[in-house]
Amino acid sequence: MHPMLNIAVRAARSAGNVIARAFEQLDKVEVESKGTNDLVTNIDKQAEQVIIDTIRKAYPNHSIVGEEHGILEGEDTDYQWVIDPLDGTTNFVKGIPHFAVSIALKVKGKLDQAVIFDPIRGELFTASRGKGAQLNGFRIRVSNAKELSGTVLATGFPFKKKQHTDAYLNMFKAMFTKTADMRRAGSAALDLAYVAAGRVDGFFEIGLKPWDTAAGELLVVEAGGLVSDFAGGNNHAKSGNIVAGSTKVLREILKDIRPFLGDSLNK
C-alpha cells in the first residue's frame, strides 16, 4: 500500500472509532446548527482533530482542508489533504447507522489517494491513482449497465438549499421515469463509494462541497467510472453539481439533465 494511503487509512479508522463509540451514546452528543438544516456535533470536530493529528504527525508540512477546521496551510502546498470527518451528520444525529469518514490526498492539484470508511459496517474503500479501487482489499468496479432502464441511482436532496427544490425535482423526475429506482441514503461519500463498488449504477447531487466528493471521485475513476459536472465538464469541484457512473450511465444522465441547465442550475 502507498505510504500516504496507509496514513489515510490509519486516520480514517481512528476517526471511525471515535464516531462509532459516540453513536452508542447519542444522548451525550452535543449538536449545534451551522445554518439552515445544517448540523454539526462535537463528534464531527473530534473526528476531524484525530485525522489532522494523524496526518500532521506523519507529514508536518502538508496542507489540510477540513470541513470543520477550514484551511490549514502547510509549508508544502503541493500536498493537500481534503477531509470530511463525518459525512452524513444528519443520519448520525438521528441514529441512522449510515455515515462515513472521507479522506483524500491531492498532489499538485490532482487526486492521488482516497479512503472512505464506514465505521458501522467496517467497510473500507480505498484507491490510489492508477492502481484501481478496493473494498476491504478486494478490487471493485463500477456497474456495467448500458442504459438507464433497470438501474438504481443514488442521489441527495438539496436539503440545505431549498431554493433548488424545483430544479432538483425536475431533474429527478426526468431520471426517475427511466430508472428502476432511486436511493437517498444520506451520505454523498458513501453514495460515490457505492457507485465505485457497482452497488448503485450512478449518482447525482446539487451543491456538494469539495470534502464531500474528493475521495469518492478518485474511487469512482479508479473503479473504471467517470465523474463530471452537469454539462459533462470538470467544474464539479467548484459548482458542487456532480454526476458519477460508468461511461454509458453518465452519458445517459447528462442527456436527461441538459434541458434543466440554466439560471438556477449551473454546470
Residue ranges in contact with Ca ion by CB under 5 A: 67, 84, 86-87, 89, 212
Is residue 186 a contact point for ligand IPD (CB under 6 A)?
yes
**Cβ atoms of 196 and 225 closer than 8 Å:** yes
Tell the smallest beta-carbon distance from residue 46 to ligand IPD (Å): 14
Q: What is the DSSP letter of 30?
A: -
Cβ contacts of 165-169, under 8 Å, gap ≥ 24: 166/264, 167/206, 167/260, 167/264, 167/265, 168/206
Is residue 83 a contact point for ligand IPD (CB under 6 A)?
no
Is residue 252 a contact point for ligand IPD (CB under 6 A)?
no
Residue closer to Ca ion, measured from CB, 112 or 212: 212
User: Cα separation of 66 and 87, whole Å?
Assistant: 12
Pick the stretch among 56-64, 84-92, 113-121, 167-175 that binds ligand IPD (CB under 6 A): 84-92
Tell the smallest beta-carbon distance from residue 242 to Ca ion (Å): 12
- Which listed residue (16, 66, 88, 245) binds ligand IPD by CB under 6 A? 88
Residue 69: Cβ-neighbour burial (10 angstroms; 0-12, 13-18, 19+): middle
Residue closer to ligand IPD, measured from CB, 146 or 161: 161
Q: What is the DSSP letter of 144?
A: -
Q: Provide DSSP, 229-247.
A: -TTSSS-HHHH--EEEE-H
Q: Which residues are documented as binding site for Mg(2+)?
A: 67, 84, 86-87, 212
Please report, as ranges, the residues that interact with ligand IPD according to CB under 6 A: 84, 87-89, 156, 186-188, 205, 208, 212
